[in-house]
Structure 1
């Protein structure tokens, strides 16, 4: 096959896989809402990360080497791997937002429930997963944007992790001296 035919084949596969991902996660959203009357925000971030990964592949297609393009057209697994990493990176970024490690006006703020008896327990952990939401519509939009970025730019979240690790290491070394 020639390069243009490979690009068209890959584009078709990306469209199919994006549609399948949206369908699967829409079903998960619907079921979680119908059965628990909760909209699981973690799934939204994960889906945006996956979509960011698919868009990233599409954007890079014209600049990848012929060998990379051949690999992408011959393996569904390779096509799925980048978007799945994007979804995982979106979840890691979500945890960084919730922890306050990454914060500021560019990033979303969240309502996180407090333990009812002052001590976290199983009930509290369920509440954290089911009742943690962005504070405003703007915060939701920021979460969606940054989740997409986490999937689109495969180096974004690892760079944040490296920066946080380095700062923690520097602080530990400063305390030891």
Structure 2
């Protein structure tokens, strides 16, 4: 006669585990909502100069979602309660991730940081409409040299959303350098670089 196999009993989740389940479910629905918006945006923006900006914001937003999901087990019960009870708190880190990704894109376009790791952009002569006048739209007239440059842009945009400190640390570094140079004249010695 075979030995009796014990039936598994469900153990109740701790409060932390239950809150993580609720927050993860909210994150899932938020990502699905974002996916629906992306499908519409891709259809509308694919043939415009806004496609690169949309990809940057989307990559940063996805990085924000994944970064928040990764940090859930490290959060306090009080933080989890806030996330479980507020859609705004669920959507805020991804929104900030998208904004920081766009800011990083502008920093990369400005040439303030450069390395083989970062994408390089050049003005696209085929997109003349609206690109002659010196206004903000001219940012949309710069494109990567090849697919590799766009791939780097997507990766760094994701990193900007995933790790909010990445872009804020870059800004802090620029802030420190600017503070050193305030009041310096062309004749004064420059700090070593």
TM surpasses 0.5: yes
Runs of at least 5 residues in structure 2 that lack an aligned partner in the other structure: 1-13, 189-193
TM-score normalised according to structure 1 size: 0.86
Instruction: Note the alpha carbon deviations across 1:123-153, whole angstroms, 9 max, x for none.
Output: x754642x42221111111101100000010
Give, in whole Å, the separation in 2 of the partners of 1:174 and 1:75. Answer: 48
Determine whether 1:76 maps to 2:87.
yes
CA contact (8 A) 1:90 1:151 kept: yes
Q: Tell me which residue corresponds to 1:121.
A: 133
Q: CA RMSD in A?
A: 2.4
Q: Tell me which residue corresponds to 2:9.
A: none
Bigger mean CA offset, 164-173 vs 68-77: 164-173
Q: Please point out which of 168, 173, 177 is paired with 2:178.
A: 168
How many pairs does the alignment contain?
171
Instruction: Note the alpha carbon deviations across 1:51-109, whole angstroms, 9 max, x for none.
Output: 00100110000110000000000000001011100000000000000000121101001
Determine whether 1:107 maps to 2:118.
yes
CA contact (8 A) 2:16 2:77 kept: yes
Q: Please point out which of 13, 22, 30 is paired with 1:9.
A: 22
1:17-28 matches, cutoff 5 A: 17-28=30-41
Q: Tell me which residue corresponds to 2:101.
A: 90
TM-score normalised according to structure 2 size: 0.80
Give, in whole Å, the separation in 1 of the partners of 2:53 and 2:99. Answer: 11
Q: Larger C-alpha radius of gyration, 1 or 2?
A: 2
Runs of at least 5 residues in structure 1 that lack an aligned partner in the other structure: none
